[in-house]
Amino acid sequence: MSYTLQQICREIGIDYQGEEKTITGIHTLSEANETELSFFNAAKYASQLPDTRAAAVLIEEKYADRLPDTTIALITDEPYLKLALASKLFAHKITTGSDTPAMGEECDIDASVRFGKNVTLGDRVTILAGCYIGDNVTIGSGTLLHANVSVYYDTQMGENCIIHSGTVIGSDGYGFAHTRQGEHIKIYQNGNVVIEEDVEIGANCTIDRAAFGSTYIRKGTKLDNLIQIAHNCDVGAYTLCAAQSGLAGSATLGRNVVIGGQTAISGHLHVGDFATIGGKSGVTKSLEGKKTYAGVPAIDHRLWLRIQAKIAALGKKK
């Protein structure tokens, strides 16, 4: 779907009478192309303004002169709220429509499975009872979906994956803009989820789709039960993540990260390759790779042990 800039501006309440452009979607400043709309609402991203390729940017007037000449400034004092309103225009239309999927050889599909439109299955895909596979989903050869798995539209799943019962892939990320009156306006999550090959995801996990772009679960990663991966996260290859852990939006993990159970990782942080994080930790800043961490906030594991020993010693004093 596409809209002209004037159509978008009418819908979101911005006065615009300038050059007309056709807009095909919304993306971040660094990723938007010449037919996409973007937004700017945080000073920490100011360095990206001169280099954006976006067709137009929702932006406050005081920052508009930092945009390149090829990008149109859509002036507003509420760019994030206007983004939320614009995102609805590009949202996937949810319907109950169903088609027979394009299917490879030797697939085993329970009769109760429901497919959306334009679904593609590789060879030897097995899907058990009660699953739903949404529009435009691709599932690679040799992949197994246990009972009652829900795969939302546009998800891409690689070969030889195992998805356990009750897991939801591609549900909306938790994104809202707020009006001055305290109302919460949905930011439609118009990205997708990409799961690479040889991934195993436990029971009752939730992998949220991206707001823009993709949420990634990289090859060889193994997720335990009851894990939350928020929108736009990138879980590196061969990561191990124990039960009841959660990653907030746009957190990224390097390869071979090990995460203990009930660990929480804050949004927009990065954990380096081969890092290990002990159970019940709270990660509040980015962590270097090849080290072991524990605690809340997560710190070097050896330091955490020394602190725990001193706390225990204080408790023994009379």
For residues 110 and 221, give the distance between their C-alpha atoms in angstroms, rounded to a whole number.
Answer: 27
Asked whether residue 77 falls in the same domain as residue 121, the answer is no
CATH of the domain at 226: 2.160.10.10
Asked whether residue 70 falls in the same domain as residue 122, the answer is no
- Supply the pTM of this predicted model: 0.95
Residue 318: pLDDT band (50, 70, 90) is: low
The crossing angle, in degrees rounded to 10, of helices 5-12 and 79-87 is: 110
> Comparing C-alpha atoms, which of 163, 140, 136 is closest to residue 150?
163
- 27, 146, 164, 231: the active-site residue: 231
**pLDDT score recorded for residue 121:** 98
For residues 186 and 9, give the distance between their C-alpha atoms in angstroms, rounded to a whole number.
Answer: 18
146 is annotated as an active-site residue: no
| Residue 311 included in any domain | no
Asked whether residue 57 falls in the same domain as residue 122, the answer is no
Q: What is the CB-side half-sphere exposure of residue 249 using CA atoms within 13 A?
A: 12
| Residue 307 included in any domain | no
Asked whether residue 72 falls in the same domain as residue 127, the answer is no
Residue 315: pLDDT band (50, 70, 90) is: confident
Asked whether residue 44 falls in the same domain as residue 186, the answer is no
Asked whether residue 198 falls in the same domain as residue 167, the answer is yes
Tally of structural domains, the chain: 2
Identify the domain containing residue 47 by its residue range: 3-90
For residues 3 and 16, give the distance between their C-alpha atoms in angstroms, rounded to a whole number.
Answer: 14
CATH of the domain at 60: 3.40.1390.10
pLDDT digits (tens, 9 = 90+) for 204-263: 999 999 999 999 999 999 999 999 999 999 999 999 999 999 999 999 999 999 999 999
| Residue 215 included in any domain | yes
Domain end point (choices 62, 90, 118): 90
Task: Give the number of other Cβ atoms within 10 Å of residue 317's Cβ.
Answer: 5
Torsion of CA 135, 140, 144, 150, to 10 degrees: -20
Asked whether residue 82 falls in the same domain as residue 160, the answer is no
